Structure 1
């Protein structure tokens, strides 16, 4: 009886492990790799679609870098973060060439050692791209909540240091989590370069958190705070304008009332010529005094306004940066939520993915996450008129403006 029980337990464990491994390959490789006999031929239409899709990612980011290169006015402090994101997205597109080759020949094109190294580097670059969105949000958060210190501390050196953080964090984590770990345990990646972390629900959830869930949580908190702060600032400005207008109307009414009383009082005590002469002297004195006060107050107000405006970024610059961030965040969320949900379901119960989800739907969801690297350049063109105009000039063979 004990032997039967042990045999049943061993059988169940083996079956579960096989199911996990098959699902892991399904989560990681092209659909034809599910055929254990290798009889399924690559779908030419799907292959062309993937090749065009990944080529567009590379092309769009090359054009973006070209725009930043030829137009000096685009090389602002805020756009240094965009340039860094563009470089990362370009590398993502280049790295996907291996995926197309994998799809075409129905196996990973390089050795297992190369699989371990290249997968760690590629995953690190993808994660660095997502972390870069977090960095942009953090910089915008400081610009909104501490505008003076943020503006004073802005420099090319600071931008380079901050932009290096996504590279260091992403590559350090993923090279350790994939490359180092798989070399230590001597993991067999198989024919299709299956990662070790996919074979365990816990480790698979860790990679899902690192790639999407943690960046999403930080971005959500920062952007909500930015939105609330901007709404409050706009509300205060509107209230101030309304209050200033009301005070101006009340002041004008009081001045008219006082003038009427003075004229009426004088008409009972002196002749018309006295009124004219006295009124002229009084008007001259009042006008001169008012003129001096207004000039003095105007100069002080102008000095304060000029001093403040030189220590914070302009409204146009802040609006452009915030709009760009909004489009980038929307692209990030829309492209990464589906694969994150699929990974979460797989972690809980793999059989809900296989065979419940069709291969076509899963292929679309897997590739959608890389669409983030294509939508980002589109976001820059939508949010920055100068960026859009520069691209148009590049393709119309017109010389871009060299103004600073």
Structure 2
């Protein structure tokens, strides 16, 4: 980046100090989240790969964007010239778009898991999450660097903002301001809110019972049905065998006139066909009250296993919903002011400029948006106890188990 000639003297102030503190906390919290993913294997699941992608973008916001932006409070203006402005704004908007698209990806994933649980279970994979994460970077980079940054480099304008940065070309035309506003804030804001409301209403309509419970119940019924059919078939088989025993008893009598057991008679008379004769001792009266034991089947074990899997699925679903709720709340709290700022700029640009001359509202709202990168990792730790425990182990220099 090239510096302007006649660089002003830096003037240290409390605002610059606050900005540096926010920047440092953003880097620290997101670095701890990423370190937790590295050291704790249990955190490397499908849903958390989306969180990791957002954490990378938020880390870069705190590491690059916040410190450079805070220099305008130290020097009172932007000190890196027009080319520096173009690359800074392109990189800033790319990172923020990756974070926003990451939230949309999580909302869409939860929406599919809520309304189409079987398809979601069959198709989810780490590879799919990785491809979605890569696409958020490709789309963001293509829009902000290949479209708007190239436009500013090819046809530069030298109109300054109150903070000292040069205005991008899209901000000089109402049509492009509306387009950027929809793509950057208003569209994602409405999409995230709409998806979350639909998910919330769906979960509320089915109560606290997880969606997978109904599916597991059907599977349990399907596994029990063949057992009952086999039981009925065995009872019929025993009844028919007992009727045949009366005829067989007359054949296998020893010289004393005593009836031997069917098993002994078969062993003494190998010439008698035995393929269709059940191995039942007819001299034992208990065989007439024979009932197939469920203990000898594998179905109870399978049912118990599915029940435990259903409980595990319920816990994962609740954790994912809690994580989504906190991420969406963080997004609304930090991006709503920016969305309002863009709406005012779109509707009445003259009043917007006058308002910023009196008080730098846009700069304040921009830093509120930056704070989303600080709040996100806090939301992850609040939503997932394992993340919180792993981070505490890292801070205490203890190895994760």
User: Please, what TM-score do these two structures have when normalized by structure 1?
Assistant: 0.70
User: Residue 45 and residue 156 in structure 1: after superposition, are their counterparts in 2 closer, same or farther (change >3 A)?
Assistant: same
Residue of structure 1 in register with 2:238 after alignment: none
User: Residue 285 and residue 147 in structure 1: after superposition, are their counterparts in 2 closer, same or farther (change >3 A)?
Assistant: farther
Residue of structure 1 in register with 2:45 after alignment: 76
Q: Contact conserved, 1:61 with 1:87, CA < 8 A, in 2?
A: yes
* C-alpha distance in 2 between matches for 1:287 and 1:183: 92
Which contiguous aligned blocks of 4+ residues in structure 1 show a shift greater than 6 angstroms? 38-41, 235-238, 284-288, 308-313
Residue of structure 1 in register with 2:330 after alignment: 331
* C-alpha distance in 1 between matches for 2:210 and 2:380: 28
Residue of structure 2 in register with 1:253 after alignment: none
Paired residue secondary structure (2:364): helix
List runs of 5+ in structure 2 lacking aligned partners: 1-6, 218-285
Q: Contact conserved, 1:54 with 1:93, CA < 8 A, in 2?
A: yes
What is the correspondence of 1:231-380 to structure 2 with a 5 Å cutoff? 231-234=204-207, 289=291, 292=293, 300=299, 303=302, 306=305, 314-356=313-355, 359=359, 362-380=362-380
List runs of 5+ in structure 1 lacking aligned partners: 1-37, 245-283
For this pair of structures, how many residues does the alignment match? 319
| CA drift at 1:397 | 2.1
User: Please, what TM-score do these two structures have when normalized by structure 2?
Assistant: 0.70
User: Residue 377 and residue 299 in structure 1: after superposition, are their counterparts in 2 closer, same or farther (change >3 A)?
Assistant: same
Residue of structure 2 in register with 1:121 after alignment: 91
* C-alpha distance in 2 between matches for 1:72 and 1:354: 51
RMSD: 3.3
1:204-263 Cα shifts (integer Å, max 9, x gaps): 22222111111122212222222233223336779x99xx9xxxxxxxxxxxxxxxxxxx
Choose 210-219 or 360-369, whichever is displaced more.
360-369
- Higher RCO structure (Cα 8 Å, ≥6 apart): 1
Match status 1:171 vs 2:141: yes
Q: Contact conserved, 2:210 with 2:314, CA < 8 A, in 1?
A: no
* C-alpha distance in 1 between matches for 2:326 and 2:379: 5
Choose 69-78 or 202-211, whichever is displaced more.
202-211
Paired residue secondary structure (1:137): helix
Residue of structure 2 in register with 1:206 after alignment: 179
Match status 1:146 vs 2:145: no
| CA drift at 1:132 | 0.8
Paired residue secondary structure (1:96): helix
**When you count helix as a share of all residues, which structure comes out higher?**
1
Residue of structure 2 in register with 1:56 after alignment: 25
User: Residue 350 and residue 312 in structure 1: after superposition, are their counterparts in 2 closer, same or farther (change >3 A)?
Assistant: same
What is the correspondence of 1:6-85 to structure 2 with a 5 Å cutoff? 44-85=13-54
User: Residue 287 and residue 169 in structure 1: after superposition, are their counterparts in 2 closer, same or farther (change >3 A)?
Assistant: farther
Residue of structure 1 in register with 2:106 after alignment: 136
* C-alpha distance in 2 between matches for 1:287 and 1:365: 81
